[in-house]
């Protein structure tokens, strides 16, 4: 017998709350920084190049992005109050902001970009504050559709990068280096595995640059003239507070993309937790997710003040954690510190800044393809039923149609200053409006508010009995629902957080019930507690002492009665979702 507990994964060497040897933390942290530094630099470079910014401002924007991402990565590894998630999660620049950022630079320069990015930073901060309220509206269909529309909006800028290639090199240089970059990154992304797949973008850009250098497209003199060590030269543009037509036209795009980037950070925070603990069945800590989104907002505010492209979290630490087995927080601190140190090394910076436009265009093609695939995955993960499929299809076609002037081009250009000429705006608004329509027209669930004391149980059983009768179920289902609710409430009453009672009294619970397929879904919304009900049920298979036996009785009964139990813990509330299948008719 192995003696391993169910649900435990022995390959993880260090959990987030464990301290690895310093040498191990330094090695894994530097490796994580090296894997991500190129991606952090490339996206602001693509934005600045496509918008025609000067080399001096391009250098500042990239340096600011690297420094801010380093600071944010360190904050994520910590957990100070409402900020940080206490896990290894690298913060990077976001490809989702590419089209909106390019348009802001083109219409108002760096100051307009700074203002829009700073204002959009409010979105992740607001979502972090009340994440439990927004998850019902920010559906996978909405976020996935907006991500799928990013390539539609950015594709015209790729043509601009290729047409703006310097003419000093030989004639076939731009197309050869462009296709070589696309081919190398594409082949490695499709066929490679492990660390080689993680390095695919870097390898493709390096080989593309080598080919471009053979045609005289790579500026070697610029790299040779750069010093090895130097202090950064700050060129923050300040804020554009004129709030003119360009601001109001672009603001919805930035707010929409900020929502998507925040959802990406939330998804990354969940993925990181999945691989950071030995017990993989551990419930997601949504309080840590809220901390991650708060850092996302702070880093984007700093990016706005610096006048560079904003960012979001990445999931590159997930495969590295799986490969190394090290999820300790010190790894994230080392990786962030390595980012910041890189900002003081001008020669490596110059080597990246000298990469030709055709190579950047090739990298951008692969990036957009990956974003489109990510959007499709998000849509499919949420379940693509008839209604969801119709929402996605109509919103995507609306985005494509308005972006390329296929739907009432003259009317779109006059409406709200050309607001709908942007494909992400048109498609995103369409998806949100249709989702809100579905939410407002669907049957309302039955609700009751009560205390967590045992005196409330008869009223709750009566409520669930009436609900079962209206749904067409018999006494057996009513009894099962009542028993499941009773065991859940008794367990919650024992897990309250001291000092958090409302108005000096007991905690209150809002219970809602609705029918779903062949069963019922009970949702309990209650003030925050100390323990996760889902985790406690998962641990019932482990040995327990006699003192805990009485408390486990309710958990065992609940596990028997319910087909699934999900406990989402937020800073302001707990949401427990219990699914109960209806008894089968013996006839």
Closest alpha carbon to 112 in 236, 246, 235, 234:
246
- In three-state secondary structure terms, 444 is coil
Closest alpha carbon to 526 in 550, 547, 502:
502
- Structure confidence at residue 148 (pLDDT): 85
Asked whether residue 188 is assigned to any structural domain, the reply reads no
Question: Is 65 within 8 Å of 93 (Cβ atoms)?
Answer: yes
293-342 tens-digit pLDDT: 999 999 999 999 999 999 888 877 776 777 677 889 999 999 999 999 88
Asked whether residue 90 is assigned to any structural domain, the reply reads yes
Instruction: Choose between 533 and 569: higher pLDDT.
Output: 569
Closest alpha carbon to 186 in 356, 312, 373:
373
Domain identity same for 228 and 116: yes
- Structure confidence at residue 390 (pLDDT): 93
Question: Is 555 within 8 Å of 536 (Cβ atoms)?
Answer: yes
- Structure confidence at residue 419 (pLDDT): 63
Domain identity same for 112 and 246: yes
- Examine the pLDDT at 6 and tell me if it is beyond 60: no
Residue 382's pLDDT band (boundaries 50, 70, 90)? low
Asked whether residue 196 is assigned to any structural domain, the reply reads no
179-211 tens-digit pLDDT: 999 999 889 888 887 667 767 887 888 899 999
Q: Which range is most confident: 216-230, 309-323, 497-511? A: 216-230
Q: What is the total count of domains within the chain?
A: 2
- Structure confidence at residue 548 (pLDDT): 44
Please report which residue ranges of 408-474 form alpha helices under DSSP H: 409-414, 423-441, 457-470
Q: What is the CATH number of the domain that holds 504?
A: 3.30.565.10
- Structure confidence at residue 554 (pLDDT): 54
Element (H, E) at 269: helix 245-275
Domain identity same for 553 and 451: yes
- Examine the pLDDT at 586 and tell me if it is beyond 60: no
* CA atoms of 87 and 285, how far apart (whole Å): 11
Q: Which of 319, 334, 354 is the last residue of a domain?
A: 354
- Structure confidence at residue 529 (pLDDT): 61
* CA atoms of 232 and 499, how far apart (whole Å): 49
Rg for the chain (alpha carbons), in Å?
26
Q: Which of 354, 374, 397 is the last residue of a domain?
A: 354
Q: Which range is most confident: 236-250, 279-293, 295-309, 374-388? A: 295-309
Question: Is 553 within 8 Å of 271 (Cβ atoms)?
Answer: no
Question: Is 332 within 8 Å of 76 (Cβ atoms)?
Answer: yes
Element (H, E) at 523: strand 519-526
Output the average pLDDT for the chain.
Answer: 81
Question: Is 33 within 8 Å of 317 (Cβ atoms)?
Answer: no
Instruction: Choose between 381 and 51: higher pLDDT.
Output: 51
How far, in Å, are 37, 310, 337 from residue 305 at the CA level? 21, 10, 21
Asked whether residue 374 is assigned to any structural domain, the reply reads no
pTM above 0.75, yes or no: no
- Examine the pLDDT at 531 and tell me if it is beyond 70: no
393-441 tens-digit pLDDT: 999 999 999 888 888 887 776 665 566 777 877 888 888 889 888 888 8
Q: Which of 354, 374, 398 is the last residue of a domain?
A: 354
How many C-beta neighbours within 10 Å does residue 213 have? 17
Where in the sequence is the domain holding 43, given as residue range(s)?
22-133+220-354
How far, in Å, are 201, 436, 468, 578, 582 from residue 515 at the CA level? 48, 20, 9, 12, 10
- Give percent of the chain with pLDDT exceeding 90: 21
- Examine the pLDDT at 463 and tell me if it is beyond 80: yes
Domain identity same for 272 and 127: yes
- Structure confidence at residue 9 (pLDDT): 42
Asked whether residue 367 is assigned to any structural domain, the reply reads no
DSSP string covering 463-503, please? HHHHHHHHTT--HHHHHHHHHHHHHHHHHHHHTBPTT--GG
Asked whether residue 215 is assigned to any structural domain, the reply reads no
* CA atoms of 101 and 111, how far apart (whole Å): 11
Say how many Å lie between the first and final Cα of the chain, rounded.
Answer: 44
115-167 tens-digit pLDDT: 999 999 999 999 888 777 776 667 778 878 887 887 888 787 777 777 755 54
192 contact partners, CB below 8 Å, separation of at least 6? 200
Asked whether residue 257 is assigned to any structural domain, the reply reads yes
* CA atoms of 117 and 98, how far apart (whole Å): 12
Domain identity same for 236 and 342: yes
Asked whether residue 530 is assigned to any structural domain, the reply reads yes
């Amino acid at each position: 017998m192995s003696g391993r507990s169910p649900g435990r994964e022995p390959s993880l060497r260090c959990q987030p709350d464990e301290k690895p040897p310093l040498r191990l933390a330094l090695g894994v942290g530097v490796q994580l920084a090296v894997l991500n530094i190129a991606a952090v630099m490339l996206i602001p470079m693509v934005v600045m190049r496509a918008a025609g910014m000067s080399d001096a401002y391009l250098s500042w924007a990239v340096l600011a992005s690297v420094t801010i991402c380093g600071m944010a990565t360190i904050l994520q590894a910590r957990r100070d109050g409402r900020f940080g998630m206490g896990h290894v999660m690298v913060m990077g620049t976001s490809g989702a902001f590419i089209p909106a950022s390019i348009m802001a630079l083109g219409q108002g320069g760096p100051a307009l970009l700074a203002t829009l990015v700073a204002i959009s930073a409010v979105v992740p901060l607001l979502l972090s504050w009340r994440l439990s309220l927004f998850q019902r509206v920010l559906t996978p269909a909405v976020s996935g559709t907006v991500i799928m529309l990013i390539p539609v909006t950015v594709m015209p800028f790729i043509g601009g990068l290729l047409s703006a290639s310097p003419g000093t090199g030989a004639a076939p240089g731009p197309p050869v280096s462009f296709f070589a970059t696309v081919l190398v990154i594409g082949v490695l992304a499709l066929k490679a595995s492990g660390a080689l797949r993680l390095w695919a973008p870097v390898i493709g850009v390096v080989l593309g640059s080598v080919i471009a250098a053979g045609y005289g497209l790579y500026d070697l003199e610029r790299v040779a003239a750069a010093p090895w060590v130097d202090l950064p030269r700050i060129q923050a543009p300040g804020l554009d507070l004129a709030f003119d037509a360009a601001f109001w036209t672009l603001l919805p795009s930035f707010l929409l993309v900020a929502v998507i980037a925040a959802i990406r950070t939330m998804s990354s925070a969940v993925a990181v937790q999945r691989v950071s603990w030995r017990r993989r069945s551990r419930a997601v800590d949504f309080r840590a997710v809220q901390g991650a989104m708060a850092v996302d907002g702070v880093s984007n505010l700093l990016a706005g003040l610096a006048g560079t492209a904003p960012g979001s979290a990445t999931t590159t630490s997930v495969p590295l954690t799986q490969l190394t087995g090290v999820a300790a927080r010190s790894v994230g601190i080392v990786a962030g510190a390595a980012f910041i140190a890189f900002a003081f090394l001008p020669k490596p910076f110059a080597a990246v800044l000298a990469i030709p436009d055709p190579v950047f265009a090739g990298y951008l093609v692969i990036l957009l393809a990956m974003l489109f695939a990510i959007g499709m995955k998000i849509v499919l993960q949420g379940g693509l039923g008839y209604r969801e499929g119709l929402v996605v299809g109509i919103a995507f076609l609306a985005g494509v149609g308005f972006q390329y002037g296929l739907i009432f081009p003259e009317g779109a250009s006059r409406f709200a200053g050309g607001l709908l000429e942007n494909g992400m705006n048109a498609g995103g608004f369409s998806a949100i409006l249709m989702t809100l329509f579905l939410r407002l027209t669907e049957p309302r669930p039955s609700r009751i508010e009560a205390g967590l004391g045992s005196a409330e149980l008869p009223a709750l059983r009566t409520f669930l009995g009436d609900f079962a009768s209206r749904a067409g179920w018999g006494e057996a289902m009513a009894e099962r629902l009542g028993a499941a609710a009773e065991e859940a409430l008794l367990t919650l009453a024992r897990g309250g957080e001291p000092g958090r009672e409302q108005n000096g009294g007991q905690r209150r619970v809002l219970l809602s019930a609705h029918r779903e397929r062949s069963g019922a879904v009970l949702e309990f919304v209650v003030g925050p507690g100390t323990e996760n009900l889902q985790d406690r049920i998962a641990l019932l298979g482990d040995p327990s002492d006699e003192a805990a036996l009485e408390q486990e009785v309710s958990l065992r009964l609940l596990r028997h009665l319910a087909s699934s139990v999900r406990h989402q813990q937020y800073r302001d509330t707990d949401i427990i979702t219990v699914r109960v299948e209806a008894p089968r008719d013996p006839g």
